Amino acid sequence: MERVSIFKVTIILTIIIALLWLNYVAIDITPTEIRHLIYQAGWLAPVAYLVIYSIRPLVLFPASIFSMVGGLAFGVLFGGLLALTGATLSAVMAFFVTRKFGHKAVQFKEKDKIEQYRQKFESKGFLYILMLRLVPVINFDFISYTAGLARVSLKDFIRATVIGIIPGTIVHSFVGASIAEGNSTKLIIAGLLLVVMLLIPVIWNQQLLQMIERMKMN
């Protein structure tokens, strides 16, 4: 085997081992612990946050937790902006993984569901992805990975993602910032907003999906 091939295999194996370790560690990690980890980077903490957030989908760690960490570590305004940037970068990362490597890159159990939404992304375009981002009835990373398999332009995908995740990112950042401040009034408001945002997709999941399906997308 050539040296270049050996080097590539070594790099790939190293990345896989690192991701498995991160996945193992991240199972019980809390937003406060992630903040502490990020703070270890000192003045480069915002950069560290964006880097960690961007590779997050490779271990399928919840995006909402990292958006909360943004507010917890950097405040609602700067943290919210970083969270929006990080979430977009992580979505693009997942998009490129399947765009480059196809179905082999991810192992979702619901292959029929992937194909179903791949076709919808291709036929209904930008507004369909936007609506699924605005109303989170479908897993964040599932949308990103499936869009990468579809004939969807990167430009449309990024626009739909950025616009669609703004409301949720604001809420999660506000929750994180409220926890950091310890203000009981803000904590109650943040908690109520979070509960409402989480319950709506759970209670009206099918109704919301049907509403999105009926909309004229093009």
Residue with tokens 């946050």: 49
pLDDT at 197 over 60: yes
In whole angstroms, what is the distance from residue 136 CA to residue 144 CA?
13
- pLDDT value for 32: 75
Q: Any idea of the CA torsion for 184, 31, 49, 179, to the nearest 10 degrees?
A: 0
First and final CA of the chain: distance in angstroms? 51
Q: Is 95 in a helix, a strand, or coil? A: helix
In whole angstroms, what is the distance from residue 138 CA to residue 188 CA?
27
Q: Tell me the mean pLDDT in the region 160-184.
A: 87
Please name the residues in contact with 93: beta carbons below 8 A apart, sequence gap of 6 or more: 54, 55, 57, 58, 144
Amino acid at 135: V
110-152 confidence digits (pLDDT tens)? 677 778 888 888 877 788 888 888 877 788 888 998 998 888 8
Give the residue among 84, 93, 96 at the shortest CA–CA distance from 162: 84
The pTM is what?
0.77
Please name the residues in contact with 108: beta carbons below 8 A apart, sequence gap of 6 or more: 114, 142, 145
Which of the pair, 199 or 123, is modelled with greater confidence?
123
Give the residue among 110, 135, 133 at the shortest CA–CA distance from 121: 133
23-79 confidence digits (pLDDT tens)? 545 445 667 777 887 888 888 889 989 988 988 887 767 788 888 889 989 998 999
- pLDDT value for 20: 44
In whole angstroms, what is the distance from residue 43 CA to residue 31 CA?
19
Cβ neighbours around 27 below 10 Å, total: 8
Please name the residues in contact with 183: beta carbons below 8 A apart, sequence gap of 6 or more: none
Residue 31's φ and ψ, nearest 5 degrees, are -55, -40
